Amino acid sequence: MSAATTARTPLRQDTLAQVGERVPVPTYDRGALRHGIAHLGVGGFHRAHQAMYLDELMNRGEALDWAITGVGLMPGDARMAEAMAAQDCLYTVVVKHPDGSREPRVVGSMVDYLFAPERGAEVLDLLADPATRIVSLTVTEGGYHVHQVTGELDADDDGLRHDLALADGELPVTAFGYVVEALARRRAAGTAPFTVMSCDNIQGNGHVASRMLTAFARLRDPALADWIAAEVRFPNSMVDRITPVTTPEDREDLAAHSGVADAWPVVCEPFTQWVLEDDFVGGDRPALEDVDVQVVPDVTPYELMKLRLLNAGHQALAYLGVLAGYTYAHEAAADPLLERYLLGYMEQEASPTLAPLPGLDLDAYRHRLIERFANPEIRDTLARLCAESSDRIPKWLLPVVRERLAAGGEVRHAALTVAAWSRYAEAVDEQGQPIEVVDRRRDAVLARARAQAEDPLAFLRDPDLFGDLVDEPGFTGPYLEARALLHQVGAKETLRRWVG
Ligand SMILES: NC(=O)c1ccc[n+]([C@@H]2O[C@H](COP(=O)([O-])OP(=O)(O)OC[C@H]3O[C@@H](n4cnc5c(N)ncnc54)[C@H](O)[C@@H]3O)[C@@H](O)[C@H]2O)c1
Ligand SMILES: O=P(O)(O)OC[C@@H](O)[C@@H](O)[C@H](O)[C@H](O)CO
């Protein structure tokens, strides 16, 4: 259906046949699906990725006992709860191709959604139910409570403190609180545990989930922590699909062109990849390899490649892009100076830290990334990529810096990215307009950025973010040079001088 459609069919189970005349819909009987996965943090990415893979399997007549129940833990998830309740958890994934064509498809693998702040007891019952065999997570990097420098559990958090001191009948508030309480109930009932499958952009996401959850459980009950360490499986994974925030225009575009009124479709790029370790409790998992998930013994080389090229690459693009006056990732990626800078970072600094992957052409991967970033249809905002820098820069970019310095290499491009972040954190752009900095450490970051007026290294003197990098002249040298240039000549001219 190409021309604008006037009749709009609301997306629901009882309208699915009508919707199916317009866009592909599930071919399986959703009523016959059985619950198997509880997913915490149902945002855009889970819906465009994991739930889409499950839907593909179900369309093949497989994984019918692996239906997903979504769980929202944050107050902001009330909107998702409302949207999903109104449309029986159905939603549309719209793949946007660079030539402007769209591929919408309705996904039906999620069958229920629980908003924990209102239905916490049901969430615990569900997680404790033996039918739940996988608990998957996309709770963002911040949801793992990792101390940026020590790498240990950072228990200095109101939510974690609350969940460690639950009175009888009181409900948890954090993902860790729910998961550990449910595991305690399963252990007490003699039920096998579930697999915890992290799908967040964290290096060694399974290992990190395992260490943090176990450390959290240990603060509550050492015997429970030992049981979790021995019995729960935490597969590592590399997940990839650029999924921007859905806009009102995306909703209208779908309704106008396909005639489907979906309160919250998800839009994404055509590319998708999922590399997963085969490490599940009792070996029990959907046959994801049937839908091109790469099931491997060790994801490390894949995830390092992705986090240090794509995610750190996004960081390299984001702050300089905003300072240079761009709003969207594709605009920034199409700027020849930023493109050269990005390629320079990827080729000269990130790639030398990566182990070779047999059969993988790294040069082609890097150029493909530039093409993906430049897809004009995705309209991924630089603001999305600039958010929560304190969780992203230390996890994705600084490991490259440390490894390069240890190997006696240069880190000029990475230093410029950090300098651009510190300039961005001054919260005023080159035109004097305010920048809305979104970061859970916002106050501290802004204060250090302001203090740079007196002490040009003030931003780096935060050991929680930078460890002892402030004492590394190989890093502080180009950082100071970049910072001074950003102030004197602005982002575009700094880039011109940086990439030659
Ligand atoms: N969007 C992408 O392109 C993409 C691609 C690959 C991986 N990811 C991973 O998925 C994560 C989520 O991305 P998204 O695009 O779905 O974001 P989103 O903002 O659409 O959804 C995030 C979800 O996580 C929840 N959440 C946030 N912090 C939480 C916390 N501390 N505890 C519990 N729940 C929390 C939110 O309430 C929301 O439900 C990313 O942080 C990243 O690790 C995203
Ligand atoms: O979602 P985050 O916070 O982990 O990171 C922001 C982006 O770099 C990220 O979402 C990418 O778009 C994604 O990792 C692509 O697969």
**pLDDT (tens digit, 9 = 90+) per residue, 440-458?**
999 999 999 999 999 999 9
Instruction: List, in order, residues 6 or more apart from 149 with CB less than 8 Å away.
Output: 394, 463, 464, 465, 467
CATH homologous superfamily of domain 300-499? Answer: N-(1-d-carboxylethyl)-l-norvaline Dehydrogenase; domain 2 (1.10.1040.10)
In tens, the pLDDT along 92-112 reads: 999 999 999 999 999 999 999
Q: Is 241 in the pocket of ligand 2 (CB under 6 A)?
A: yes
Q: Which of 203, 238, 267, 314 to mutate to test the pocket of ligand 2 (most atoms within 8 A of CB)?
A: 314
Residue 313 has a pLDDT of 98
Q: What gap in Å lies between CA 245 and CA 241, rounded to an integer?
A: 13
**Residue ID of nearest Cα to ligand 2 atom 16:** 240
Give me the residue label for tokens 């998930």. Answer: 293
Model confidence at 2: pLDDT above 80: no
- Concatenated DSSP letters for 459-488? GG--HHHHTTGGG-HHHHHHHHHHHHHHHH
The number of the ligand nearest the C-alpha atom of 266 reads 1
The model's confidence at residue 489, banded by pLDDT at 50, 70 and 90, is very high
9-296 is classed CATH 3.40.50.720: yes
Residue 7 has a pLDDT of 83
Q: Provide the residue type at 462 as one letter.
A: D
Helix (H, G, I), strand (E, B) or coil at 142: helix
* Ligand 2 centroid from CA 3, angstroms: 33
In tens, the pLDDT along 129-179 reads: 999 999 999 999 999 999 977 899 999 999 999 999 999 899 999 999 999
* Ligand 2 centroid from CA 201, angstroms: 7
| Stretch 295-315: mean pLDDT | 97
In the sheet with 102-107, reading across from the earlier edge strand, the strands are 102-107, 91-96, 266-268
Residue 148 has a pLDDT of 76
Is there a contact between 492 and 331 (Cβ–Cβ < 8 Å)?
no
Residues lining ligand 1, Cβ inside 6 A? 41-46, 72-74, 76-77, 138-143, 175, 200-201, 239-243
Global confidence as pTM: 0.96
Both tokens of residue 230? Answer: 């021995």
Model confidence at 235: pLDDT above 50: yes
Give me the residue label for tokens 């009508």. Answer: 18
Model confidence at 232: pLDDT above 70: yes
Model confidence at 4: pLDDT above 90: no
Establish how many alpha carbons lie within 13 A of residue 53's alpha carbon, considering only the half-sphere containing its beta carbon.
24
Helix (H, G, I), strand (E, B) or coil at 294: strand
Residue 3 has a pLDDT of 43
Q: Is 385 in the pocket of ligand 2 (CB under 6 A)?
A: yes
| Stretch 214-231: mean pLDDT | 98
More confident site: 407 or 168 = 407
Both tokens of residue 321? Answer: 């892009």
Instruction: List, in order, residues 6 or more apart from 168 with CB less than 8 Å away.
Output: none
Tell me whether residue 156 is exposed, middle or buried, using C-beta atoms within 10 angstroms of its C-beta: 0 to 12, 13 to 18, 19 or more: exposed
Dmax (CA) for the chain in angstroms is: 66
The model's confidence at residue 338, banded by pLDDT at 50, 70 and 90, is very high
Question: What is the interface pTM, i.e. ipTM, of the complex?
Answer: 0.99
Q: Is 237 in the pocket of ligand 2 (CB under 6 A)?
A: no
**Percentage of residues in the chain having pLDDT higher than 90:** 96
Closest ligand 1 atom to 243 CA: 3
Residue 1 has a pLDDT of 46
Residue 358 has a pLDDT of 86
| Residues listed for the chain | 500
| Stretch 362-380: mean pLDDT | 97
Establish how many alpha carbons lie within 13 A of residue 460's alpha carbon, considering only the half-sphere containing its beta carbon.
22
Residue 390 has a pLDDT of 95
In tens, the pLDDT along 52-85 reads: 999 999 999 999 999 999 999 999 999 999 999 9
Domain ranges of the chain: 9-296, 300-499
Helix (H) or strand (E) holding 106: strand 102-107
Q: Is 240 in the pocket of ligand 2 (CB under 6 A)?
A: yes
In tens, the pLDDT along 470-480 reads: 999 999 999 99
The number of the ligand nearest the C-alpha atom of 246 reads 1
The model's confidence at residue 6, banded by pLDDT at 50, 70 and 90, is low
**Residue ID of nearest Cα to ligand 1 atom 40:** 140
| Stretch 365-373: mean pLDDT | 97
**Residue ID of nearest Cα to ligand 2 atom 4:** 201
Both tokens of residue 114? Answer: 């629980």
The model's confidence at residue 19, banded by pLDDT at 50, 70 and 90, is very high
In tens, the pLDDT along 254-278 reads: 999 999 999 999 999 999 999 999 9
Closest ligand 2 atom to 201 CA: 4
Helix (H) or strand (E) holding 237: strand 237-240
Residue 233 backbone phi and psi in degrees, to 5: -105, 145
